[in-house]
Structure 1
Amino acid sequence: MTGYYDYVLGLIPAALIGVTALFTLVGLSLTAALPAGAVAAATVMAHAMFVRAPVDDGDAQADAPRSGRGEGGRGGRSSV
């Protein structure tokens, strides 16, 4: 079963190569087209990291009993 991040991993090189090739075919030099492809690939990566960030709701629930403060988390204090 493929998920969002599987598509992202395939889309990163596709964006880099595809946008670079498209701008090269349009008439831009390779030196100018390559940064444009890199920006497209970086945009895909930034979307995957910050817009649809991989979060695990189980981590927040697992940390709550150890902190002694409920939902507040560790707050920089030792668990000892």
Structure 2
Amino acid sequence: MTRYYDFILGLIPLALVSVTAALNVVGVALSTAVPLGAGVSVLLVGHALFVNGPVDTASSSSPGSAPNSGRFNSAD
């Protein structure tokens, strides 16, 4: 099952190559098209990190409590 981050990982190089190629075909110089394509890729990474950031859903500890590392057993 593909999820949001799987799509983002595929879109990053796709955006870089396709935006650069499209701008180059339109007539923009390659030295300008590459940074613009990279800018689109950076926007995708920024969206994945800051707008729709990863969330740790596997954590069962309540907020404010220290996580248990599991190295020491307090029942002994």
TM-score (norm 1): 0.75
- AA aligned to 2:39 is V
The structure richer in helix per residue is 1
| Residue in structure 2 matched with residue 29 of structure 1 by the alignment | 29
Residue by residue, what CA displacement relative to the aligned partner does 1:13-34 show, whole Å, maximum 9, x if unpaired?
Answer: 0100010001000001100000
Larger relative contact order, structure 1 or 2 (CA cutoff 8 Å, min sep 6): 2
Could you say what the CA RMSD is over the residues aligned between the two structures, in angstroms? 1.3
Identity of aligned residues (%): 45
Give the structure 1 partner of residue 50 of structure 2: 50
Q: Match for residue 64 of structure 2?
A: 72
Q: Extract structure 1 runs of 4+ deviating beyond 4 A.
A: none
* TM-score (ref. length: structure 2): 0.79
Instruction: Could you tell me which runs of 5 or more consecutive residues in structure 2 were left unpaired when the two chains were aligned.
Output: 67-76
Gaps of 5+ in 1: 65-70, 75-80
**Residue of structure 2 equivalent to 1:39:** 39
